[in-house]
Chains A and B, each alone.
Chain A
């Protein structure tokens, strides 16, 4: 890793960073609402984003800066197994297409802002509402922290040292999110996504040429893994179930997060969401190609201290200075959009499902917006403190558990769209079994995403989140059978 400051790269970086900062503040006036002091406006952009804005916003928010760094890093470290992000981000869209338009209808019809609002509206249970809301907030916090890791990697690659640049970038982000709400990341997403596309297209067009073509890249990676003695460019049969279950579990969890749901609820119509399920895979193609950078790093024999440096070092080694600066700006700005939407999603949950539910039930719409704005600041400062004062591994472990946790809210949030049979106590029991049981399994496995299950003589290693979800759903069904047989409820 180079430590001298590359002035050309830094100048390009600062130019784009300044550009999006100005856009962030101007966003308050974009598609100007009568007032931003309403949660629907601040926290959901007025529920009026059409196909293109939603495409940029959800794309910018789901394919995060951390993804851009971490997916190639995982492929660099372990090979084919790291590629599970590709099937994951393909099969997520048929799910989005079948489920999210229905959920949007429910939210729109009743003016719900969060997943926990929806659950409370259906089941009338404060306990279930709090379970869903708390899970959302807790799962999102480490995710925000990881965006900071992504941003810090890009800043470090420019040769800047110390924590001040990261703090400065984050304070700026916090301020314009405070003033403009969801409009800020929605507007910035246009720039961020365009930049990321340019960088990825340049990378996959130019870098393999410098390394002797794709066959040389894969051959080089294959050799490197053989020399290393672990990993490989194909999966071992023992990895099949892990690969598939990670893809499926991640896909089911992806749109349970507050930030992705915020993007869904901010859409203008159910049709906007369906259209996006057709169009968003363009980002998946980009992600798949980006993942191959991990192999390019292997083939280029990079000397790096941490796998997370593979993308920045590759760019620095193989791109001209000005373009490396552009690429790092793309990654850093790429962190701003998800971090902003995540903090807004968490703030919406806090406001609607804690503040309004327990502190001030008579809160006005303007009061809701004020509380949410403060909450978004608190959430971001919390994430910043985690990154500054705790080891990065802590955020990584929490993020892994966060995926497991958020997945346990799926039965409460999705099943009602297909059946009216389930009751709140059953869903709450299932949530608790999945969340605590899954956490226990992951904990005893040393915070690994995979858990080995033994069926007689066969051993299957699968994603612990999906195992927890299976336990969750089983509990829901069993408890519900008990509840419905005990209580003769009048048919509604």
Chain B
């Protein structure tokens, strides 16, 4: 299975960068609904990461 098109797999690197570099998000402020930034930032990556994966998914053919 040789990919014929560029599958936008680079998008999948973004969650690794966003989450593994801890100094990006180890803060208390700005809080959201009383939840410190550290927590809601990481929680927000869940839908963002799913969305990026979905974009990559759309570039695959779906028969296999």
Contact = CB atoms under 8 A, between A and B. Distances in A.
Interface residues of A, number: 42
B6 interface: no
Given A97-B57, A98-B9, A270-B64, A234 B35 contact: no
B14 to A, nearest CB: 9
Interface of B: 1, 9, 12-13, 15-16, 19-23, 26-28, 31, 33-36, 38-39, 42-43, 45-47, 49-50, 52-54, 56-57, 60, 62-64
Contacts of A275: 57
A235 interface: yes
A419 B15 CA distance: 25
Kindly name the residue among A87, A93, A248, A292 whose own CB sees the greatest number of chain B CB atoms within 10 A: A87
B19 A87 contact: yes
A80 B28 CA distance: 11
A240 B22 contact: yes
Given A102-B1, A214-B35, A235-B26, A97 B12 contact: yes
B46 A284 contact: yes
Contacts of B27: 234
Contacts of A271: 60, 62-64
Nearest to A281: B50
A233 B1 contact: no
A217 B33 CA distance: 11
B20 A274 contact: no
A218 B60 contact: no
A105 B1 contact: yes
Contacts of A240: 22-23, 26
B53 A215 contact: no
A86 interface: yes
Contacts of B42: 83, 86-87, 90, 288
Contact of B20 (A87, A93, A281, A292): A87
A482 to B, nearest CB: 31
Interface of A: 80, 83, 86-87, 90-91, 93-94, 97-98, 101-102, 105, 213-218, 233-235, 240, 243-244, 247-248, 269-271, 274-275, 277-279, 281-282, 284-285, 288-289, 292
A371 B35 CA distance: 52
Interface of A, helix, strand, loop or mixed by DSSP: helix
Contact of A87 (B45, B47, B57, B60): B45
A275 B62 CA distance: 10
Nearest to B23: A240
Contacts of B23: 240
A94 B64 contact: no
Nearest to B54: A278
A392 B50 CA distance: 36
B47 A281 contact: yes
A234 B62 contact: no
Contact of B53 (A93, A101, A102): A93
Contacts of B50: 93, 278-279, 281-282
Given A105-B1, A243-B22, A233 B64 contact: no
A270 B9 CA distance: 16
14 contacts: A87-B42, A90-B15, A91-B19, A93-B53, A97-B53, A97-B56, A97-B57, A101-B64, A217-B34, A233-B36, A233-B38, A234-B28, A281-B47, A281-B50
Contacts of B39: 83, 288, 292
A90 B64 contact: no
